[in-house]
Chains A and B, each alone.
Chain A
Amino acid sequence: MEFIDYYKILGVSKTASDSDIKKSYRKLARKYHPDLNPNDKEAERKFKEINEANEVLSNPENRKKYDQYGKDWKHAEEFEKAKQSQHQYKNTGQQHYRNYSESDFSDFFESMFGGSGRSTAYGRTRYRGEDYNAELHLNLMDVYKAHKRTLTINKKNIRITIPAGVENGQTIKIKNHGGSGTQGGPNGDLYITFVIENKTPFRRNKSDLYLHVDIDLYTAVLGGEIMIETLDGKVKINVKPETQNGTKIKLKGKGFPVYKKEGQFGDLFVTYTIKIPKNLSEQQKELFRTLSKL
């Protein structure tokens, strides 16, 4: 756990007035607020730092304690004990930003100020509950068929149906499964973003799948039958005589399920790569030479 320089974070000097701190905080909050920087983890991290710095420096009591014990923060606990008998903390009534919870404070802050230092998280009475965001990591085959899964969000178990055909990076909203609303207000929503890892030989574009298949020269020239693996099991394919390298064929309905359209599937596109035989015997080479002269 390292010392955090809150003055540096807010870009103010140690002698800065309350109004300078407020001004600097607002300026930085406008720059890094998560609502203004959607899906930007770096902005979110910076915003948390700024908020924490403001929590300390905008509160006279916290600021005094920080200035006094700053780098010697490890002694703050003794300071706290000595102060305990004096007075209770009073709320300054300032406002704070949403999507901000206790866990967003650094260990340094928690160590120095603990619960009593947090003056204003959720200072504004929120009507609608907070929205929750979660990331769910799945394999491609996990989303080939719709299935139910139990997720634990903020210590609550939620059973959801993961629809077949969900895309990598897709976010779905589950209504009313966010934080509870206050005084009769509606609950927030739960947003789940899917991160889908594909370890199969298939490449996916929406509901279509793409596969490269090697075929030997003789089958390509003379034609024949090959077996290929699809997500739906093995399929026998007739290779036409004189098939060229890079030939693409379409297997209708052998692709991935179409999202939210039960029973509908995309197509599987197979591209042939013709393998030229290696380590030919002298007799084979001679036959190829004869062939080339015909």
Chain B
Amino acid sequence: MTKGHLIPVLEFCKRHEIEFSFINSLHEFGLIEIITIRKTAFLNSDELPRLEQIIVFNKELEINLEGVEVIMRLLERVHQIQNEMNMLKNKLGLYEN
């Protein structure tokens, strides 16, 4: 992983007007990963879409972190099922007409 893919947590917190402790609790909940390099905490930029989704759920929809954790797991499952459904739909096309 190159340094270009890492976003300093403090920078992210500043832009989103959130506390560092919030990001830390997400890390403790196992919802996101924090990478520490020379005592500086970073986020992987690939995790940003997921993290912003978590912020929407928690800060804007007022869902507590336990709820967010369950939702994130269920959303993963929904995506898996949607992919499976798409695959089956395409397979079903074999028997149509």
Write the residues of chain A forming the contact surface with B, with a CB cutoff of 8 angstroms: 26, 29-30, 33, 35-36, 38-39, 95, 97-98, 124-128, 131, 167-170, 182-183, 185-186, 188-189, 198, 203-206, 210
Contacts and interface: CB of A to CB of B under 8 A. Distances in A.
A198 B60 CA distance: 43
Contact of A30 (B61, B86, B87): B61
Contacts of B71: 36
Contacts of B94: 203-205, 210
Given A170-B86, A205-B91, 18 more contacts: A33-B56, A38-B75, A38-B82, A124-B17, A124-B60, A127-B48, A128-B49, A167-B87, A168-B86, A168-B90, A169-B86, A169-B90, A185-B15, A189-B49, A198-B93, A203-B94, A205-B90, A205-B94
Given A29-B61, A33-B61, A127-B15, A39 B53 contact: no
B56 A97 contact: yes
Contacts, number: 73
Contacts of A203: 93-94
Given A97-B60, A182-B15, A204 B93 contact: yes
Interface residues of B, number: 29
A26 B61 contact: yes
Contact of B48 (A36, A128, A198, A204): A128
A98 B15 contact: no
Interface in B29-79: 45, 48-49, 52-53, 56-57, 59-63, 71, 75, 78-79
B90 A35 contact: no
A36 B17 CA distance: 23
